[in-house]
Structure 1
Amino acid sequence: MMGMVGKCRLTLLWFIALLLIQITVSASSSLTEQLAVDGKVLELDESNFDSAISAFDYVLVDFYAPWCGHCKRLSPQLDAAAPVLAALKQPIVIAKVNAEKFSHLAEKYEVNGYPTIKLFMHGVPIDYNGPKKADLLVRYLKKFVAPDVSVLDSDSAIRNFVEEAGTYFPIYIGFGLNESVISNLATKYRKKAWFSVAKDFSEEVMVLYDFDKVPALVSLQPNYNEQNIFYGPFEEEFLDPFIKQNLFPLALLINYDTLKSLEDDERKIVLTFVEDEAEEKSKKLIRVLKSAASANRDLVFGYVGIKQWDEFADTFEANKKATLPKMVIWNRNEEYFTVIGSESIDEEDQASQVSKFIEGYREGRTLQKHISKSSLLSFINSFIGIRTVYLLVFVVAVLMLIQNINKEEVGTRDEADHATGSVSSEAGSIKSGDKED
C-alpha cells in the first residue's frame, strides 16, 4: 500500500512539473507574440522590461525623455527601422522606455542623458554608439546578428559582403585562410569588426586589395579609405595584435563615442589639439599624424578640434590662449605628459616635429601634468551627462546648506550662552550690591 501511495505522489509531482513547464512555455510564447506583433516599437516599463529582455535575444532599447528634442527626432527613425529588423532571420526588436517616468530602470542601466540607446544581447547591455538614421541603423545592427566568420566563395560574394558591411566597422578578409584560423579572434572582437574568409577569388581581387600572395589577412577601414595586410605568422599571438591595432584608423577623431570605444585598448593616446578639425591646415597635419601612426602602432593617434570640443581640450590647457597645434601623451586618467621642447607644432616641416615629439616621449624627456581642475566640471558635463552633473551640484548645495545651518546654530548657541552669562553677571552684581547696602 505504501508503495502505491509513493508511486501516486511521484506521478502527481511529475504531472505538476509538466503542467508548470507548459504554463511557463505558454506564458513566454504569449508574451513573445504580444511584444513582437508586426514589428512595431515596443513601449516598455518596469512591469514588462525584464520579461521583454528575456524573451528576445536582441533588443535595442531607447531610453528617452518626453521633452527631449533629440528623442523626438529619433523616434520616427526607430519606427521605420523596427519592421525591417524584426523581419531578419535573427530578429532584433526595438523598444523604448520613458526614462523620466520609470527612473528606476534609468538608474539601473546608468542612463545619464537623453536619448541613451543600449543593445541587449542575450540580456547583456552594451552602449549603442552607431548611426541614428533608419537605413544606416539597420545596416549597423545587422553586424550583431551576423555569423562570427562569413565564408565567401566568389568575387561577387566578396563584393556583396563589403558592401553590406558598410562603413562603421573595420572589415577583415582572410584570403586563402581556413575559417578556424581566425574563428577565436572573430568571436572575441565580433562586436567591433566584420570577419570573413575568401575561399575562391580572382587575380583582379588580389590587385584590388593589393596583396600578392596567400594566405593574407586584409584589414579595411572603409570610412577612412585605409587598408593593411598581414602575411603571418598566423598564430593567435601574432594575429591578435594585428587585429587589435587595426580596429581604429591611423588618426582617430576623438569625441565622446570614440573615447568609449577605446576603453578596452591599453595603448596610450597621442592627442593633437587643433583649432578647428575641419580646416585645411588641420587636415594637412592629420595626414602627417597618419604617417607617424603607421610607424608607431603601439600608440593611438587622436586629434581634437577645440572648436568642436572645447571642454575636453581645455582640461589639457589647450584653448585659444595656447599655441596650437599642441600635442600631449595621455594615459586616460588624471595625468598626461608633455614633451620638453615639443610643446607645440608650427606649420613648417610638421613631419620632423611630430617625429621629434615621439622620440622625446620614448627617451623620457617628458613633463607630467594633471588635468586642469578649473575646467573639470565642464569636462564631466560633456563626458558623463548633464543629469549627473545636476545631481552632483544638488548634493554639494545641500551639504553647503547643512553646513551653514550648523554654523548658524552654533552662533545662536554662543549668543545665547553669552546672553545668559551677562544676565548671570548682572544678577550677581545686584546681589553683591544688596549685601553692601
Structure 2
Amino acid sequence: MAVVGMDRMVGQTLFSLMVVVVLLLAISGSASSSSTEQFPVDGKVLELDESNFDSVISSFDYVLVDFYAPWCGHCKRLSPQLDAAAPVLAALKQPIVIAKVNAEKFSRLAQKYDVDAYPTIKLFMHGVPVEYNGPRKAELLVRYLKKFVAPDVTVLDSDTAIKNYVEEAGTYFPIYIGFGLNESVISNLAIKYRKKAWFSVAKDFSEEIMVSYDFDKVPALVSLQPKYDEHSIFYGPFEEEFLDAFIKQNMLPLALPINYDSLKSLEDDERKIVLTFVEDEAEEKSKKLIKILKSAASANRDLVFGYVGIKQWEEFADTFEATKKSPLPKMVIWNRNEDYFTVVGSESIDEEDQASQVSRFLEGYREGRTIQKRISKSSLLGFINSLIGIRTVYLIVFLVGVIMLIRNINKGDDEPLGVGSQDEVDRASSSVSESESKEYKHGEKED
C-alpha cells in the first residue's frame, strides 16, 4: 500500500508540473503575441520613451535606434532618410526595426546609453547595443544594415550570383570569397568576424571570373576592399590559424585614411601604426605618396599604414607635432597610447625619391634607431575634445566649478579641504576652459 501511495503522489506531482509548464507556455505565447500586436512591424519608425524602450528592444532581434534632439539640424535631415529606410528593412526576411528617442526629453535613456551628441545611432542586436557609424542616406543605410542579418556564409553558384553578391554588399565592409572552398572551412571565422566583413564561397564559376579577380588556381580565398579598389589572394594553407591571420590583415586597406571612425575600427587590431602626415590628402603629391605607402604596407603586414591630412584633421596631427609650419610629409610609429617613435635621420620626407625614404624609415624602425616621444598634452586636449561629446566637457566644467565653490565655502575653516592646491584647481579650470573653447568635431555629430 505504501508503494501505491508513493506512486500516486509522484503521479500527482508530475501532473501538477505539467499543468504549470502548460500555463507558463500559454502565458509566454500570450505575452509574445501581445508584444507583437503592441509593436507591429509595419515599416513605420517607432517612437520610444522610458515606458516602452525595453519592451521594444526585447521584442525584436534587431532595432536601430536614433537618439535625437528636436532642435538638431542633422537630426532633422536624418529623419526622412530613416522614414524611407524603415519599410525596406521591415520587409527583410529577418526584419530590422527603426525607432527613435527624443534624448532631450528622455534624458535618462540618453545617459544610460552614453549619448553625448546628436544624432547618436545605435544598433541593438539581441538587446546588445553597438554604435552605428555607417551611411545615413536611406539606400546606403539599407545596404549597410543588410550585413547584420545576412547568412554567416553565402553560397554562390554562378558568375551572375558572384557579381550580384559583390554589388549588393556595397563598399562599407571587406568581402571574402572562397573559390573552390567548402563553407565549413571558413564558417567559424565568418561567425567570428560577421559584424566586420562579408563571407561567401563560390561553387561554380568561369575562367572569366578567375581573370577578373586575378587568381589562377583553386582553392583560393579572395579578399576585396571595394571602397579602395584593392584585392588580395590567399592560396593556403587553409588551417584556421593561417586563414585567421589573412582575414585580419585584410580587414583594412593597405593605406588607411585616419579619421574618427577609422580609429575606432582599429580597436581590435594590435599592430603598431605607421602614421604619415601630409598637408592635404587631396593634393596630387599626397596621392603619389599614398601609393608608395600601399606598396610598403603589402611588404610589412605586421604594421598598419595610415595617413592624415593636416587640412582634414588638424587637432589630431597637432598632437604629434605635425603642423603646417613643420617639415612635411612626416612619418612616425604610434602604439596608440601616449607614446610614439620618430626614426633618426627620417624626421621628414622630401619630394625626391620618396620610395627610398620610406624604405629607410622602416629599416631604421626595425633596427631600433628611434626616439620615443610623448604626445603633446596641450594639443591632446583638442584631440580629446574631438573624440568626446560636448556634454562630457560641460560635465567637467560643472565638477570643477563645484570643487571651487566648496573650497570657497570652506575657505575660513581651520582644516583645508583635501582636493589639491589652489594652483592645481586653477590649472584644471584653465585646461577645461581651453577644451571647452575647442570646436567640437565628431563625424556627422556636430550638434
Q: 1:151 aligns with which of 136, 155, 165?
A: 155
Which stretches in structure 1 are left out of the alignment for 5+ residues?
413-437
1:41 matched to which residue of 2?
Answer: 45
2:286 matched to which residue of 1?
Answer: 282
Q: 1:8-407, aligned counterparts within 5 Å? A: 14-15=18-19, 17-407=21-411
TM-aligned CA distance change 1:36 to 1:371, over 3 Å: farther
TM-aligned CA distance change 1:177 to 1:11, over 3 Å: closer
Matching residue's letter, 2:109: L
Matching residue's letter, 1:324: L
Cα separation, 2, equivalents of 1:114 and 1:172: 34
Cα separation, 1, equivalents of 2:10 and 2:295: 80
Matching residue's letter, 1:304: V
The answer to whether the Cα contact below 8 Å between 2:62 and 2:126 also exists between their aligned partners in 1 is yes
Matching residue's letter, 1:70: H
The answer to whether the Cα contact below 8 Å between 1:335 and 1:369 also exists between their aligned partners in 2 is yes
Matching residue's letter, 1:48: N
Cα separation, 2, equivalents of 1:91 and 1:276: 42
Matching residue's letter, 1:194: W
Cα separation, 2, equivalents of 1:288 and 1:307: 21
Residue by residue over 1:150-186, the C-alpha shift from the partner in whole angstroms, topping out at 9 and shown as x without a partner, is 1111111111111111111111111111111111111
Stretch moving more, 52-61 or 24-33: 24-33
Q: Percent identical across equivalent pairs? A: 82
The answer to whether the Cα contact below 8 Å between 1:58 and 1:93 also exists between their aligned partners in 2 is yes
Cα separation, 1, equivalents of 2:375 and 2:397: 20
The alignment partner of 1:38 has SS state of coil
In the superposition, the TM-score normalised over structure 2's length comes to 0.88
Residue by residue over 1:353-374, the C-alpha shift from the partner in whole angstroms, topping out at 9 and shown as x without a partner, is 1111111111111111111111
Q: What's the RMSD between the two structures over aligned residues?
A: 2.0
Stretch moving more, 64-73 or 15-24: 15-24
TM-superposed CA distance for 1:307, in Å, is: 1.3
TM-superposed CA distance for 1:119, in Å, is: 1.0
In the superposition, the TM-score normalised over structure 1's length comes to 0.90
TM-aligned CA distance change 1:66 to 1:213, over 3 Å: same
TM-superposed CA distance for 1:47, in Å, is: 1.6
TM-aligned CA distance change 1:78 to 1:350, over 3 Å: same
Residue by residue over 1:84-133, the C-alpha shift from the partner in whole angstroms, topping out at 9 and shown as x without a partner, is 00000010111111222222222222222211111111111112111000
TM-aligned CA distance change 1:405 to 1:348, over 3 Å: farther
Cα separation, 2, equivalents of 1:363 and 1:285: 23
TM-aligned CA distance change 1:230 to 1:9, over 3 Å: closer
TM-superposed CA distance for 1:4, in Å, is: 8.0
The alignment partner of 2:411 has SS state of helix
Matching residue's letter, 1:341: G
TM-aligned CA distance change 1:164 to 1:11, over 3 Å: same
TM-superposed CA distance for 1:12, in Å, is: 5.9
The alignment partner of 1:39 has SS state of coil
Cα separation, 2, equivalents of 1:9 and 1:190: 47
Cα separation, 2, equivalents of 1:385 and 1:115: 11
Q: Count matched residues.
A: 412
Cα separation, 1, equivalents of 2:11 and 2:218: 68
The alignment partner of 2:262 has SS state of helix
Q: Which 4+ runs in 1 deviate beyond 6 A?
A: 1-10
The answer to whether the Cα contact below 8 Å between 2:41 and 2:90 also exists between their aligned partners in 1 is no
The answer to whether the Cα contact below 8 Å between 1:36 and 1:93 also exists between their aligned partners in 2 is no
